[in-house]
Amino acid sequence: MHTRAKSKYWKWMRVAYQFRFPQKGLEVSGEIPSEQDALKILEGKGFSFRSVKYEQLYGVIQWSLSKANVVNVLRYLKHKLLGISAYNLSYPMVAGYSDVIRVPAGCVQLFGHYCGVFASANLFVELAIPTALNLASNKVVTEADTDLKGIALWLSEDFELLNKYQFSLKKLQSDFPSTHLFIHPIKLSKWK
């Protein structure tokens, strides 16, 4: 699992904040740890939970007249007028890329159960999987704990790295960088 610090604006932070748990009509009492138990488990693994700042949810206020900025400024002013200065999650969650995970056999059943509960609540996968894995297992190892690193391809220039493989999975597998755990994304539909 690849993780990232959440000190700045990050779309997962807003998704986590907007998520409501429990939800009306969703009977999950006893199916996942209570908010207090989940907090204890996650804090025991080194996670800390505190109020989220406005900028982490909606970005830094830009005092300009573009439509997006006007909406953000109006929201910000509304929150200030209402005295809203702290934003708390309704359930403790952790976030991380969840494209490559390995689940220990001893917790796979509980992990699957928690994933099912979060799926029924429509929790975003990049929150559901890391949270379920951390709640179900005794220890979670992330990319930061290994010598292997991932390669994230976000910009068009990043994808130039793949040119030498000529969209051949055989070439990618035979010449995969030995210092890397994964390359993301590799869309199989585009490869031979």
pLDDT in the model for residue 11: 67
192 Cβ contact list (under 8 Å, min separation 6): 167, 168, 169
Q: Give the pLDDT confidence score for residue 2 in this predicted structure.
A: 37
Domain boundaries, the chain: 11-49+89-142, 147-190
Q: Which residues contact residue 90 at a Cβ distance below 8 angstroms, ignoring those fewer than 6 apart?
A: 19, 20, 21, 35
Q: What are phi and psi of 183, to 5 degrees?
A: -125, 125
Given this model, what pLDDT does residue 176 score? 92
Question: Residue 9's pLDDT is what?
Answer: 55
- Per-residue confidence (pLDDT) for residue 10, from 0 to 100: 59
Per-residue pLDDT of the chain (192 residues; tens, 9 = 90+): 433 334 455 567 778 887 887 778 888 878 999 999 999 999 999 998 888 788 888 877 777 777 777 888 888 889 889 988 878 888 999 888 787 788 999 999 999 999 999 999 888 898 999 999 999 999 988 888 889 888 888 888 888 889 999 999 999 999 998 999 888 888 888 888
pLDDT score recorded for residue 110: 98
Question: Whose CA is closest to 125, among 4, 8, 19, 6?
Answer: 19
